[in-house]
Amino acid sequence: MLAAALRCIYTISLYLALPFLLLRLWWLGRSQPGYRARIGERFGHAPARAGPTPLIWLHAVSVGEVQASLPLVAGLRRRMPAHRLLVTTTTATGAEHAQRLFGAEVSHAWFPYDTPDAVARFLRRTRPALLMLMETELWPNLLRACARRRIPSVLVNARLSERSRRRYTRLRPLVAAMLRDLAGVAAQSEADAERFRTLGMPPARTRVIGSLKFDVRLAEDLPARIEAARRDCGPGRPAWIAASTHEGEEEQVLAAHARVCGELPSALLLLAPRHPVRARQVAEIIDRHGFSFRWRSAGEHCEPGTQVYLIDTLGELIPFYGAADAAFVGGSLVAVGGHNLLEPAAVSRPIVSGPHLFNFAGIGERMRAAGALSVVGDAAMLAAEIAALLRDPAACRRRGEAARSVVDQYSGAAERLLRWLEEILAGGSAHHCR
């Protein structure tokens, strides 16, 4: 009863918020027109599925989740060729990245608002055989609707930090009801699985699969793209990358770069903000620090006097990780929780991070244990660590190789997950709709 009451309050609040959500889409659409496209899909008006071909629905919120889903999508297309695949995203950058990665072979739609009518309309038009939600995407009305229609839903690559678990505990009856509606939770680690169990997830439907992020798929043309990125940076220069940075972080990164340049005057910083839409704001910060810089999106190449290369494009992060000698992964000097440490590891680069790694705690621990990751607390520590790495190419190679060994050691989550999904589709899960 309490769960139903909380779901009712949630639903009423969501309906009241719809005008503001639409206003937000219009506002975001000023700089990213994708937000104003196909708005009807947000209300469930997705393209109707034609014919009897069964459909699998994967929801990946934004760029990070889309990138992490790549080995899963490849596996689904290989092992379940009779099924069509629909990927939904919430952000415009996620939509662009999905369409760039998967092309026309995978359909894309906007994720519907979690109102009963929008969800019912979306499910009626797409008729999925299976729903997969990436990481921590729990939506009460969607999960209830799927359970009632006997559509199995699985939380894949699932993670739950201790901080999030405490926050969910305040709404435990509603959260427990959502978890009971799931056919399964494919957790990244035992710690994640246990947190889901304490919130009410049935143990029989919880499995530790590992992180899909370890199954980094490197494009066949990646060596050529890395070489092209190196040429754009300028040959023979010590270079480091600060990737996926957030507001409040670029100031610290640039302060660190000033110190690095004091020791290594030819050093180059590749600065890649998490959201390219912030590029103009980041450019103003670079300008205030007095650095000479070039824009990647303008097709500009670095000259000998260029001190910062602003990587304001999508889909090029891994090649520029490969072009750098050392990598700082952002979202970690500010309390965002960190970003994907495994992309620089996949191209054998030593990794530096700030202390806020709660979204990647398990991966961070493995990287630190292997000697691949160092954690710094401020700009001065970041500068010291980067300068030490740039002065010592042999140490860069050792730590980069250690990072790659962690990726190799823990890969295989996609295949484990695909086997379980086949069981669920065949009716072999313990899930039952209430």
For the annotated catalytic residues, the residue numbers are 65
Distance CA 129, CA 56 (A): 6
Integer Cα distance of 173 and 194 in angstroms: 17
Burial 119-155 (b: 16+ CB within 10 A, else e): bbbbbebbebbbbbbbbbbbbbbbbbbbbeeebbbbb
Which two structure tokens, joined as six digits, stand for 338? 């960190």
Six token digits for residue 145: 């609707």
**Is residue 208 helix, strand or coil?**
strand
C-alpha distance from residue 379 to each of 72, 289, 354, 385, 388 (Å):
37, 14, 10, 10, 14
Q: How far apart are the first and last CA of the chain?
A: 14
Tell me how many degrees the CA angle 307-313-318 measures, rounded to the nearest 5.
80
> For residue 360, which of 384, 331, 389, 385 has the smallest C-alpha distance?
331
Comparing C-alpha atoms, which of 176, 169, 170, 168 is closest to residue 144? Answer: 176
3-class DSSP assignment, residue 230: helix
- Phi and psi based region of residue 305 (left: phi greater than 0; alpha: psi -120 to 50; beta: remaining): alpha
CA distance 175 to 200: 8
